[in-house]
Amino acid sequence: MPPIVPPFLIGLIAAPLAKRLFKPLVRGVVTTSIGLVMEVKKAAHEAGENIHDLAVEVAADMVAAQIASGDGHRPAEGAASNGEKDEAKSPKIRATAGAAKAQ
């Protein structure tokens, strides 16, 4: 009859071996995952900056096109012609605290 080895003895022997084998493996997986996440965050941030820069360029081009075509400061049809501003169409400009101190 073969000798019977209790399962807890097998666990006592196998646990340190498993620790030696699996700890470097798990450490490598975690290190690689963190590195990958950092690269993805960096790429996403750069993509966001590029989209923002593109939006600014398009807005500047649109403003330049409006100024070049003369649409920027031309009064609308039906606007007051006696020197009064068309209050409904002109934007309100508010003085900021910095502008008030400068004057």
pLDDT at 85: 52
Cα separation, 25 vs 28, whole angstroms: 5
Q: What is the pLDDT of residues 15-55, one digit of tens each?
A: 888 888 899 999 999 999 999 999 999 999 999 999 999 99
pLDDT > 60? residue 5 = yes
Number of Cβ within a 10 Å radius of residue 79: 13
- Quote the DSSP letter at residue 87: T
